[in-house]
Structures are given as structure tokens and as C-alpha cells.
Amino acid sequence: MLEISLHILDIVENSARAGADTVYINILEDTAKDILSLEIRDNGSGMTEDVLNKVIDPFFTTKKVRNVGLGLPMLAQAAKSAEGGFIIESKGGEGTRVAADFKLSHIDRQPLGDISGTLVTLIAGNEDVDLIYRHEHNGQVYTFDTREIRKEIEDIPINHVAVLNFIRDHIIEGLKEIGAEA
């Protein structure tokens, strides 16, 4: 994965497969502190301690369709390559937290990527999962919450094309307003 947004896509898809109905995505960009941090928390089924201890091994996966699980190991490596760190915490029945920090100015830091496209893709494919996205850029904050969108659209499906187009435009505009990559 060459962009942080693709790591987000992978992790949130894992959250949905683990039965999460709510996923929190937090991004913090602080140029003064030279940091980009990512945190994803869910209320899915979580992992046992045994699985949690193996999850960074690229040759371990809980999926039945392949023998490798590269998502989390690749994120951990991307963070390490940009002088950052990686943490994963999980408890069975309680959910999972994944966090990665990157030196913002590091030449090897992956670009943030297409956040609006990633979020729209996640909403389109996981209509029963609520996403709460918070992005802070140098003290300016943008928040997007599918629960608020659902209240406004009432009985229209959140993955309806017109709703998804509105969501994409809303996210792009919100990120521009705070000076973040759109």
C-alpha cells in the first residue's frame, strides 16, 4: 500500500468483518511538531491475546482465502520507515485500536492519499457500519459522522449514489477548509 488512506481502507474493512458497527478514524497533522498520527478504533469482536501477538507477522492471517495478512505489517513498516511508531490493542468482545505515527516531513512518509474516496468506498460497501472521522490539521478540526447523515436522509440508503456524491463533496470541502490534503 502506497498511501495511508489505503491502510485505513484495509483496517476498517477488517473492523467490519469483525462485526463492528461503529468505527472511529482520527487523523492528526501537526507541522509544528512534525507529526502525522492515525488512530482507528472499533467495537468489533476484538482479538484474543494469541491472535494479537501474531497479527504483525505477514505470514499470519485469520482469513480463510489466503495464507498471508499484509495489511497491519505494512502499516507498521510504513510508520517505522518514517521514524514513527505502531501500536495495536485489542480485547475479545470489546474491539480493537490501531495507531500509527509518522514524522510528517520524512521523505519516506507515505502521502495521506484520497481520504474522501476511501471513506465513500467504505460507506458504499459497509452501509450498516457507522464511521466517525475526525481530522485535525494544525489545530483546525473537521469531523464527519455517518450517524448525522443518516438522520438527515431518513429512509434513503446511505449508499445511494446521490448521497455518496454529497458525502464525497462534503469531505473534500471540509478538509480544504482546515487546510488538509483533500
pTM: 0.91
In a domain, residue 182? The reply is no
In a domain, residue 148? The reply is yes
- If one counts the domains in the chain, the total is 1
3-state DSSP call for residue 151?
helix
Q: Determine the pLDDT at residue 53.
A: 75
Q: What is the CA radius of gyration of the chain?
A: 16
CATH code (residue 65): 3.30.565
Closest by CA position to 26, among listed 145, 109, 149, 151: 145
| Phi, psi angle pair for 100, to nearest 5° | -140, 140
Q: Determine the pLDDT at residue 65.
A: 47
In a domain, residue 127? The reply is yes
Q: Which residues pair with 42 in a beta bridge?
A: 23
Instruction: Measure the CA–CA gap between 90 and 173, rounded to whole angstroms.
Output: 34
CA angle in degrees (0–180, nearest 5) for 32-35-37: 140
In a domain, residue 120? The reply is yes
Q: Determine the pLDDT at residue 68.
A: 39
In a domain, residue 145? The reply is yes
Query: By residue range, what is the domain housing residue 113?
Result: 4-177
Residue appearing with cell numbers 505477514: 58
Angle between helices 161-177 and 115-125 (to 10 degrees): 150
What are the cell numbers at 77? 513498516
One-letter identity of residue 36: L
pLDDT tens digit sequence for 67-105: 334 688 899 999 999 999 999 999 988 999 999 999 999
In a domain, residue 129? The reply is yes
Q: Which residues pair with 101 in a beta bridge?
A: 37, 85
Q: Which residues of the chain have pLDDT under 70?
A: 1, 56-70, 182
Instruction: Measure the CA–CA gap between 129 and 159, rounded to whole angstroms.
Output: 11
In a domain, residue 12? The reply is yes
Residue appearing with cell numbers 475526525: 134
What are the cell numbers at 125? 460497501
In a domain, residue 119? The reply is yes
